[in-house]
A and B are shown apart, each in its own frame.
Chain A
């Protein structure tokens, strides 16, 4: 560690290569990035033809964003998220060599004001209950029942199994499928539902 240790007003220590605390990265990711998922999904759907790859693309974008945030948390999450997504799409097109002619739509035509503080955060906080209810309503019936019994009524796996007349493993399957679908609908809204096996 150097002898001179100064702080600037942004609160970031001026140590080169200093790593961000994992809890900071998590807080940032949950508060700033996840609320942008609907926008990200819109971007991916607009610009990528193969819908089967969208979930993988989203995952890749998030992984890259987290990787970058470990070193320094980006100032403008919206701009950063879209830039990351755009680079990934371009990489993927190059990597695939054979470029499907309309794999990538005009990336520049997307009209998103990147630097303005968006209404997403407050809109989400404001509508949490309404949107959660809507998301829950959209779950496949069995997954919905299992999720409600677990999260709302607080029943154990065994109690849910008894009530639904299925094995505990099946309850597990319903709940995990419900969790994933809930996240897709709640954050992304546009995502398709996964039916439980």
Chain B
């Protein structure tokens, strides 16, 4: 059972004076998993990562990575974990290849092996044609890809990426994330990535953890999270309707009729109308009932869509809750 989890955080806490950056964090990440650490800026994501690598000492608790206590023997952990810091930098006056070879040799590869491995990885991340160019001339997206090669050069078991998509254009993000997923699946790597970009994480992660002001407030895959959060009204159906315009500024009569009829149906909790769209939240999938109701009332139905909850909504919901408290 012990080695099923590759990262285990146990009551991890970090305090800076009176500020608690990370507050009793318990987290287990299994082998081969892609885990997304989500949270706004300053939530304590980076601090958590630093503690996992033994770059910062926790005030309390334990971080175990690959069965090794990161605080006690950071060098052993760093041998197995590749870390891409947010806003990574390279030595500007060295070429991409030289930069990679330097890191490889710090990991005790011979010069020859380092060169081979570096060239192979540059090919892999699509930088083979600029290997001989100084990194000072690289673009942000290229730097980030070089960063990925830099992380992989030590043949890690775990890779930790801190805000890896920051500052890359949308297409670059897509390619970069695909690269990560591909690598993880092929080589069985465990990936932990932190981000405050919900959509990107949503695309690639098996499981996410929501991190707000030092606390992990929820974890699980996106479906589980949304089910737990929106248990009162798990389905939202949006219907675009074409109602004959009334003369009065109030809602057209047909619409009022329609709303009453819908509310009368079992499982439908609420109906709101805004600019030609009806937003209906219900306990189960009632699209068929809704469609029939609309058509029978005489309004034109121009579109019907089921809305799945994304991370955005999950996020939003949490902050609404927080503000309410």
Partners in one complex: no
Instruction: Using CB atoms and an 8 Å cutoff, list the residues of chain B in contact with chain A.
Output: none
Instruction: Using CB atoms and an 8 Å cutoff, list the residues of chain A in contact with chain B.
Output: none
